[in-house]
């Protein structure tokens, strides 16, 4: 008999299970241990210090999710687990899984946020130097590495010579780390809160480019960006947490800070003008509902409007092969 099956709905209903299984496995170092040595249930339980019963539950769940394979009684990391869930690799996303695990309580209050239109998170994104950023900032850095490379290639940054840029709300400093590695003459400046900048300086130093990176401590809502100082500017995963009015004010400050002919690169989850797009980008609007007062996932048309009003003459939208989209204005 043909027709709908409950598979898709059941997968969504059990989504919290998947998040919890993955987060627990990461927190106990299961993927890192299996990368070094595929093992049995008893062996991996002993090596990472968890109960055999708990180990079996995680191993069953992860195998069902396609993150592990089982062969001759031993569990092995899948290709995806090896690439993204082994701590120490540049593409590591395990820390993000832990953040999402700890945030499940906020999502339980989604019905309240939908009714009131107000965030339900205990600390919203407009709290100055929110301690949550100090957990989230390094956790999400790996998401930006491929996008920063796409942007650099689009801008021919490696051939641009002794240029400079301002990265506002740059978090981990990942954009400067990637770009400085691609252009040995360039200099990068990041504006962010003091404690976040401390994280950034350490992160960038891991790429051996710290001598060409400096930070400015401040709140980008109130700190002046300067005038005609930079060849490029970066606004990565910031616009979604701001109101339309604040985004217009920010891009106006960028237009002033750039040298004549300079380029602003915006990286974010961006929807089509009819509010369709990548599934992750579309769900991200709900994340903004529960953690911000006015943030959302904005459309291409919104960015074009703000950038045009700010004085930018050319706006290009560039796909990245990830949930993120680049909006490049000059």
Handedness of CA 64, 70, 76, 79 (dihedral sign): negative
Backbone angle region of 125, left / alpha / beta, with phi > 0 → left and psi within -120 to 50 → alpha: alpha
Domains of the chain as residue ranges with CATH: 7-102 (1.10.10.10), 122-329 (3.40.50.150)
Give the rounded distance of the alpha carbon of 215 from its chain centre: 20
pLDDT for the residue 90? 87
Alpha-carbon torsion angle 207, 190, 310, 301, nearest 10: 50
For residue 5, pLDDT over 80 is answered with yes
Give the rounded distance of the alpha carbon of 34 from its chain centre: 26
Q: What is the DSSP letter of 45?
A: H
The single residue listed with the structure tokens 């009684």 is 73
Q: Strand 74-77 and strand 164-168: pairing?
A: unpaired
Write down the mean pLDDT value for the chain. Answer: 95
For residue 129, pLDDT over 80 is answered with no
Q: What's the pLDDT tens digit per position in 55-92?
A: 999 999 999 999 999 999 999 999 999 999 999 998 99
**Angle between the N-to-C axes of helices 131-139 and 141-155, in degrees from 0 to 180, rounded to the nearest 10:** 60
Which residues, including other chains, have CB under 8 Å from residue 306's CB and lie 6 or more apart? 244, 247, 248, 251
pLDDT for the residue 133? 66
User: Is residue 57 packed enough to be buried (19+ CB in 10 Å), middle (13-18) or exposed (0-12)?
Assistant: middle
Rounded to two decimals, the pTM is 0.92
Alpha-carbon torsion angle 86, 90, 96, 97, nearest 10: -20
Give the rounded distance of the alpha carbon of 64 from its chain centre: 26
How far is Cα 330 from Cα 312, in angstroms, rounded to an integer?
5
**Count of residues in the chain:** 330
pLDDT for the residue 137? 83
**Angle between the N-to-C axes of helices 174-182 and 194-205, in degrees from 0 to 180, rounded to the nearest 10:** 30
Tokens of 307: 């950038």
For residue 30, pLDDT over 80 is answered with yes
Residue 139: which pLDDT band, with cuts at 50, 70 and 90?
A: confident
Other beta carbons less than 10 A from residue 243's beta carbon = 15
CB half-sphere exposure, 39, CA atoms < 13 A: 19
Residue 1: which pLDDT band, with cuts at 50, 70 and 90?
A: low
How far is Cα 54 from Cα 97, in angstroms, rounded to an integer?
18
Other beta carbons less than 10 A from residue 326's beta carbon = 21
Q: With CA atoms as reference, report the closest residue to 145 among 318, 322, 283, 328.
A: 322
The single residue listed with the structure tokens 């900032």 is 137
Tokens of 200: 């950034």
How far is Cα 177 from Cα 166, in angstroms, rounded to an integer?
13
pLDDT for the residue 123? 59
Q: What share of the chain is helix, strand, coil (3-state, %, to 5)?
A: 50, 15, 35
The three-class DSSP label of residue 97 is helix
Tokens of 49: 């210090």
pLDDT for the residue 136? 79
């Amino acid at each position: 008999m043909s027709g709908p099956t409950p598979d898709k709905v059941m997968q969504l209903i059990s989504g919290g299970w998947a998040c919890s299984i993955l987060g627990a496995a990461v927190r106990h170092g299961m993927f890192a241990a299996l990368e070094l040595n595929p093992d049995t249930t008893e062996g991996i339980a002993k090596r990472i210090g968890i109960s055999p019963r708990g180990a079996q539950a995680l191993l069953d769940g992860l195998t069902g999710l396609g993150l592990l394979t089982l062969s001759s009684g031993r569990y092995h990391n899948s290709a995806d687990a090896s690439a993204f869930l082994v701590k120490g690799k540049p593409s590591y996303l395990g820390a993000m899984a832990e953040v999402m695990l700890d945030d499940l309580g906020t999502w339980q209050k989604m019905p309240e946020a939908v009714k009131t239109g107000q965030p339900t998170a205990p600390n919203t994104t407009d709290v100055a130097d929110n301690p949550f950023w100090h957990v989230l900032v390094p956790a999400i850095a790996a998401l930006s590495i491929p996008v920063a490379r796409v942007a650099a290639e689009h801008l021919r940054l490696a051939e641009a010579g002794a240029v400079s840029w301002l990265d506002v709300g740059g978090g981990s400093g990942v954009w400067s780390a990637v770009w400085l590695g691609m252009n040995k003459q360039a200099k990068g400046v990041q504006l962010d809160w003091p404690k976040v900048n401390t994280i950034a300086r350490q992160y960038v130093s891991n790429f051996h480019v710290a001598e060409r990176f400096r930070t400015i401590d401040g709140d980008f809502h109130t700190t002046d960006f300067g005038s005609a100082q930079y060849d490029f500017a970066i606004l990565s995963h910031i616009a979604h947490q701001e109101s339309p009015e604040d985004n217009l004010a920010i891009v106006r400050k960028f237009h002033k800070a750039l040298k004549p002919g300079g380029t602003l690169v915006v990286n974010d989850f961006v929807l089509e003008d009819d509010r369709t797009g990548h599934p992750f980008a579309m769900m991200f609007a709900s994340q903004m509902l529960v953690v911000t007062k006015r943030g959302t996932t904005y459309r291409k048309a919104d960015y074009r409007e703000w950038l045009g009003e700010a004085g930018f003459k050319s706006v290009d939208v560039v796909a990245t092969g990830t949930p993120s989209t680049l909006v490049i204005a000059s």
